[in-house]
Amino acid sequence: KAGVTQTPRYLIKTRGQQVTLSCSPISGHRSVSWYQQTPGQGLQFLFEYFSETQRNKGNFPGRFSGRQFSNSRSEMNVSTLELGDSALYLCASSLSSSGANVLTFGAGSRLTVL
């Protein structure tokens, strides 16, 4: 069974640009969550999508957005990049059953903003 696939794995952008990251969840998983990981702040929740709807959002500015497609694949976008956006962006998928969310993470997309 394939795991969570994130592309691209590495990318370098300059301030003011925008970036789109992609996530393919485990087959059958309908919930996709995004987290930002930095050395200083650790892992912080960005947002969660289920059935193409954003169900939950963390405390990030509006420059961070996402969407989910009918096949459960998800993308996140960061506009007007800032140096502080340099981070590992992790996508996680889950079955989103009635119990606690057991997340399976991808390897992440490492974004460097110059």
Partner 1 sequence: QQQVKQSPQSLIVQKGGISIINCAYENTAFDYFPWYQQFPGKGPALLIAIRPDVSEKKEGRFTISFNKSAKQFSLHIMDSQPGDSATYFCAASMRHSGAGSYQLTFGKGTKLSVIP
Is 105 one of the binding residues for partner 1 (CB under 8 A)? yes
DSSP 71: T
User: Judged by CB, which is closer to partner 1: 24, or 33?
Assistant: 33
Distance, C-alpha 22 to centroid of its chain: 8
Using the structure block, give the residue that is written with the tokens 């390897």.
Answer: 107
Residue type at position 11 = L
Q: How far apart are CB 48 and partner 1 at their closest, in Å?
A: 5
Site for partner 1 in 36-95 (CB under 8 A): 42-45, 48, 50, 55-56, 58, 90, 92
Sign of CA dihedral 46, 47, 48, 49: negative
Tokens encoding 38: 């930095």
Q: How far apart are CB 68 and partner 1 at their closest, in Å?
A: 13
Tokens encoding 101: 């969310």
User: Judged by CB, which is closer to partner 1: 58, or 79?
Assistant: 58
Which residue ranges make up the site for partner 1 (CB under 8 A)? Answer: 4, 31, 33, 35, 42-45, 48, 50, 55-56, 58, 90, 92, 96, 100-108
